[in-house]
Structure 1
Amino acid sequence: MPISIFGFQALWSPVMIGLVVCIAILYFLITVKWRSDFKVSEPLKRKEAVYFLTSLVLLYIVKGSPIDLMAHIMFSVHMTQMALLLLLVPPLLMKGIPWWVWKVVLELPVIRKVLPFVTKPLLALIVFTGLFSFYHIPLIFDYIKMNEVLHGTYTFLLFLSAIFMWWSIVDVVESEKKLHGLKKIGYIIASAVLITPACALIIFSGHAMYETYTNGDVWLKAMELCVPASTLAGLSLSGPELFSNMAPVEDQQLGGIIMKVIQEIIYAAFLFSIFFKWFKNEQDNADEITQKALDDLKLQAKL
């Protein structure tokens, strides 16, 4: 059965289109038109604009396009949505905002007090992986998907925790790096390890765990998150099996695999970039690093 039966609003989310367009307009007003109002600023770089617009396009694709609708029908699409929303959109969004805009935000009284705590590397990593794993416990997952406000709130908190987790990897202000070189590499590896148990539970489970993808009545209730109730009332639907030939348990296992594969690809790209920058810095400053090491040895010898 084609998903077009759910209507234009469910497929393309006009509200999400409007939100993304407004954010894009505000971004260019701040970084171009109002740039002179900042004490310190630089012309907007092309790569920054590309990063930011790419993050907005991806955000719309995963939360406003038919992908969002399909994520309520197939668990594998849901996990693809989660992987892109939490592991790719945040770093692109962060890299797209110029450092001088970040500097103003970071100097706000409330942000200045709270951010150093919530972005502590270990804490941010534990909170993100904890929220992600907690969310995918079957009983909790089904309960959250049955309530629009709860689902929206939890998704926002999960996205916010992803930004805090990425904070130690993406240097939004060069002079305020959280981690350096090899520590970043270790941090990324730790993140990959901590998220593995949740993916493994989904992949190796011998049965379909989520009622929102197997129980027709529960699924219809969960579909109200993206389809108007009036539209659903006019349709005669028994369950998600009408839109997919894949068995629920196979769809679930595929979802866990997709999540892990996308995670590994994104993390591998960042690992390569970080290692390359660290190696280049070591080569460019070899004499200075060697001299510092010798000075430290001399100081220890005197002590």
Structure 2
Amino acid sequence: MTWLETMSLDLQIFGFRALWSPYYFLFLLAIAIAYYLITGPMREKFGAEDQPTVRQQIGFYIGLILLYIVKGSPIDLLSHIMLTAHMTQMAIYLLVVPILIIKGIPVWIWKKVVYAPIIRPIFKLLTQPIVIVLVFNLAFSIYHMPAVFDFTKSSPIAHSSIAIALFILAICMWWVIYCPIKELDRLNPLLKIVYMVAHGALITPACALLIFTGTPQFAAYTSEGAWIQAMALCVPADVLNGISGDLSGPEMFSPLSTMDDQQLGAIIMQTVIQFVYAYVIGKVFFAWFKKGSGKIDPIPTSHISS
């Protein structure tokens, strides 16, 4: 039996609710149904005529599925046991899902949201390239400071609030690249490339600190008391109270030492970040190049001497 199979069996002690988050599943299912009704049978009541494309619908639903996988499946439970799982979770949560959501929601819905009186000034500020480059990377770095990270793992309100805030900031970050509203898409391709390079440069120190530091940084993965508090975020209290006497710490379920787990988690996050950013830069560049090459006038054949 592999360590993965052994871990899977060991995790069963936390119960179905901790492993599969049924209430979160129902929440995302409600969003999926609302999306189908608002963009489909009921769209005329909202003043819309066109349905989203099949590609948009598939993208949106895949985004919801990925959201459930990283925040509702056993990966979420594992994120409180291994930093590797947490970083994998955050990479998908902040770098992949927001893109699918932005591209999956029809333009007419986005216009109703971003032009709403209360949202408009805030959204306009947070989608300024320089502002969101600084705010997103600062928020990500502060969140992964040991004192802040351990605090969020001990407070359900802080944990949920910061997760939602980071997701909103990620939407704003990717909006600059994938803005679906033409009149708001003002950044030219070259500046979009510079924008992504800036993101890649600013987020690197937070990952590098975890890779090259010589000691484990987070009490939530090293201290038994802090770890039990962190587990309480996803394990029902009655279940956790019943098994807490049998738990000695995250090392019970992890094949890695705490230090190896920290370094691997940071390496995974950094690798995914650079891969996604490089992919986006490549798409922006080649779309720009293709558009530019299409404007080059062909050499008139009549001017070529025989």
Question: Is residue 62–residue 85 contact of structure 1 (8 Å, CA) maintained in 2?
Answer: yes
Q: In the TM superposition, what whole-angstrom CA distance separates every residue of 1:81-133 from its partner, at most 9, and x where no partner exists?
A: 11110111111110100112212222221222322112111111111100110
Among 56, 69, 82, the alignment partner of 1:74 is: 82
Q: Secondary structure at the match of 2:140?
A: helix
Q: How does 1:1-303 map to 2 (within 5 A)?
A: 2-235=10-243, 236-286=246-296
Aligned residues with identical type, % of pairs: 46
Q: Is the 8 A contact 2:52 2:105 kept in 1?
A: no
Supply the distance in 2 between the matched residues of 1:244 and 1:163 (Cα, whole angstroms): 33
C-alpha contact (below 8 Å) 2:200/2:274 kept by paired residues: yes
Distance in 1 of aligned mates of 2:51 and 2:271: 37
| Contact 1:54 1:92 (8 Å CA) reproduced | yes
Cα distance per residue 1:271-300 (max 9 Å; x no partner): 12111211111122335xxxxxxxxxxxxx
Structure 1: state its 5+ residue gaps.
288-303
Figure out how many residues of one structure are paired with residues of the other and give that number. Answer: 287
Query: 1:44, 1:245 → 2: CA distance?
Result: 45
How does the TM-score come out when normalised to structure 1? Answer: 0.92
Return the alpha-carbon distance in structure 1 between the equivalents of residues 46 and 283 of structure 2: 31
Tell me how far 1:40 sits from its aligned partner. 4.8
Q: Is the 8 A contact 2:79 2:86 kept in 1?
A: yes
Distance across 2 between alignment mates of 1:149 and 1:43: 37
Residue in structure 1 matched with residue 4 of structure 2 by the alignment: none
The Cα RMSD (Å) is 1.2
**Separation in 2 of the partners of 1:244 and 1:101?**
44
Q: TM-score, normalised by structure 2?
A: 0.91
Structure 2, unaligned runs of 5 or more: 1-6, 298-306
Write the deviation string for residues 50-108 of structure 1: whole angstroms up to 9, x where unpaired.
Answer: 11011100100000000000000001110111111011111111010011221222222
One-letter amino acid matched to 1:198: A
Q: Distance in 1 between matches of 2:48 and 2:295?
A: 29
Decide whether the 8 Å contact of 2:38 with 2:46 is kept in 1.
Answer: no
After TM superposition, the structure 1 stretch with the greater mean CA deviation from structure 2, 163-172 or 100-109, is 100-109
Tell me the distance in 2 between the aligned counterparts of 1:109 and 1:251: 46
Give the counterpart letter for 1:269 in structure 2.
Answer: Y
In structure 2, C-alpha distance between the alignment counterparts of 1:39 and 1:71, rounded to whole Å: 42
Report the Cα distance in structure 2 between the residues aligned to 1:189 and 1:112, rounded to whole angstroms.
27
Structure 2 distance, partners of 1:244, 1:229, is 23
Separation in structure 1 between the aligned mates of residue 187 and residue 249 of structure 2, nearest angstrom = 48
Structure-2 change in CA distance of 1:34 and 1:198 (3 Å): same
Q: CA contact under 8 A between 2:60 and 2:104: conserved in structure 1?
A: yes
Q: SS of the counterpart of 1:169?
A: helix
Matches of 1:218 and 1:206, distance apart in 2: 21
Query: Hey, what's the Cα distance between the residues in 1 that align with 2:91 and 2:17?
Result: 24
The SS at the match of 1:168 is helix
CA–CA separation in structure 2 for the residues paired with 1:219 and 1:279: 51
Give the partner amino acid of 1:275.
Answer: F
